[in-house]
Amino acid sequence: MTTQINTDICVIGGGSGGLSVAAGASQMGAKTVLVEGGKMGGDCLNYGCVPSKALIAAAKKAASLKDASDFGVTGPAPVVDFQKVMDHVQEVIGSIAPHDSVERFEGLGVEVIQGYGRFISEKELEVGDTRVKARRFVIATGSSATAPPIPGLEEAGYLTNETIFGNRTRPDHIIIIGGGPIGLEMAQAHVRLGSKVTVLEAFKAFGRDDPELSAIVLKTLHKEGVEIREGVKISEVKKGIDGTYHISLGEGVSAETLTGSHLLVAAGRKANVEGLNLEAAGVEYSPKGVNVDARLRSTNKKIYAIGDVAGSYQFTHIAGYHAGIFIRNALFRLPAKVDYSAVPWVTFTDPELANVGLTEATAREQHGDKIKVLTFPFADIDRARTERQTDGMIKVITTNNGRILGAGVVGPHAGELIHPWGIAIAEKLKIGAMASFIAPYPTYGEISKRVAGSYYTPSLFSTRTRAIVKFLSLFG
């Protein structure tokens, strides 16, 4: 027998964006249904942000013991129990899971349906024997890992971000296909935990980041033992009877074969639209995701898409941002639109790499030579010296009249240091606002004030300024 549910809001997907919508809408008085066929919390909690950062934290502990002698502290070399490391990862997931659980959301008044939904009309979704008719739908199904079309790859099998955190055996040699943020985060974590690591990248590692900043991270990774090979062509992947992977590179006289114990593919993601039967709902989509307007509405104006499946930035914080845009549109009838001018992103390597707004390259594309590029090194920050964390720099891009367009930080706590620059860009502040605040000493945050102050250095210490000071001294 089919069960019919009529509701105000139907959320499809229990990841970060979907859960934010469901919690907000229900607590604001809208009757809300949440449909989730997999794990509550989605990719971020179970396979992405949370487990990866937990693994990175364990690896950082191991690395900190290795360089403790620089501080006059010595002791035995770290012993890594990989199974206990992965226990730590699962414990962290478990500690956060109740916040994203079915029970919590039912307690908030959300009706949770566990199953995969498919549209049967422009206004109705079918989940097993249940049909949901809603005034507004929001598709928040996220994305999943995809693999490049390499001969033999599918037959050999491989790890992705969805399976690597279930691996309980430390890799002797892990080969990672993909030199983007996920691949390089996992590369550093594993090399610090005692694995040999080789990264294979078809183009440039950190290809979307500022090359001047990313070069500092890559130098550290090389120093720690990560082999990064750029511009490589993988011709074939085979798996031996002993379980090892054989990766064939190049052709002809330059051909070679790499052998590894584990293979991780971190070379792209695809929007999760399969099985939704979007055609029945009048929703247009592409391999990148659902086609949406600036208000996140699909071609069916009663159906929205948020997060990775909306085809823009694939970050958890963007999914949360999208949730707010949807709430304002669907519940309050406000024509809220997305604004990506101040989107931050962070790669959690050590040192961290963070950006917000325009990079130097994109700023030059949009503004030509009418920009100023300000830089300041961590080596000139006293707090960085006390902790021997001097590798890195901050880079800020402004217009010639000082309006802040973008900022990038590579160094300790870069993900935290980027925050005020995001506010500055969103509020269209000029560099003087960052130069005039009082920074506590000694902190890493001083670097923001110091780089902002450098905007005024040429004029403050110019011949004209010296002449003015000399003239004013004539008056006593």
Please indicate if the annotation marks 143 as binding a ligand: yes
Long-range contacts of 321-326 (CB under 8 A, 24+ apart): 322/17, 322/296, 323/17, 323/18, 323/20, 323/21, 323/24, 324/20, 324/24, 325/295, 325/296, 326/21, 326/138, 326/296
List, in order, residues 6 or more apart from 259 with CB less than 8 Å away: 173, 244, 245, 246, 247
The DSSP element (H or E) to which 120 belongs, if any, is none
Task: Please give the single-letter amino acid code of residue 120.
Answer: I
Please indicate if the annotation marks 179 as binding a ligand: yes
List, in order, residues 6 or more apart from 216 with CB less than 8 Å away: 351, 391, 392, 393, 410, 411
**Rounded to the nearest 5°, which phi and psi values hold at 114?**
-90, 105
Distance separating alpha carbons of residues 266 and 210, to the nearest angstrom:
20
Please indicate if the annotation marks 94 as binding a ligand: no
Reference 264, options 145, 149, 158; nearest CA is: 158
Please indicate if the annotation marks 178 as binding a ligand: yes
Please indicate if the annotation marks 53 as binding a ligand: yes
Tell me the sheet residues that pair with 86. Answer: none
Q: List strands edge to edge, sheet with 256-260.
A: 234-239, 245-249, 256-260
Q: Which residue has the tokens 């011709």?
A: 235
Distance separating alpha carbons of residues 119 and 401, to the nearest angstrom:
52
**Rounded to the nearest 5°, which phi and psi values hold at 159?**
-90, 150
Please indicate if the annotation marks 162 as binding a ligand: no
Please indicate if the annotation marks 416 as binding a ligand: no
**Rounded to the nearest 5°, which phi and psi values hold at 439?**
-95, 130
Distance separating alpha carbons of residues 304 and 119, to the nearest angstrom:
13
**Rounded to the nearest 5°, which phi and psi values hold at 311?**
80, 15
Please indicate if the annotation marks 142 as binding a ligand: yes
Please indicate if the annotation marks 243 as binding a ligand: no
DSSP 238-291: EE-TTS-EEEEES-GGG-EEEEESEEEE-S-EEE--TTS-HHHHT--EETTEE-
Please indicate if the annotation marks 218 as binding a ligand: no
What burial letters (b/e) apply to 40-62, b meaning 16+ CB within 10 Å? bbbbbbbbbbbbbebbbebbeeb
Please indicate if the annotation marks 36 as binding a ligand: no
Please indicate if the annotation marks 223 as binding a ligand: no
Q: Which residue has the tokens 């989509």?
A: 285
Please indicate if the annotation marks 411 as binding a ligand: no
In Å, the largest CA–CA distance within the chain is: 96
Please indicate if the annotation marks 17 as binding a ligand: no
Q: What residues are designated binding site for FAD?
A: 53, 117, 141-143, 308
Q: What residues are designated binding site?
A: 53, 117, 141-143, 178-185, 201, 268, 308
Q: What residues are designated binding site for NAD(+)?
A: 178-185, 201, 268
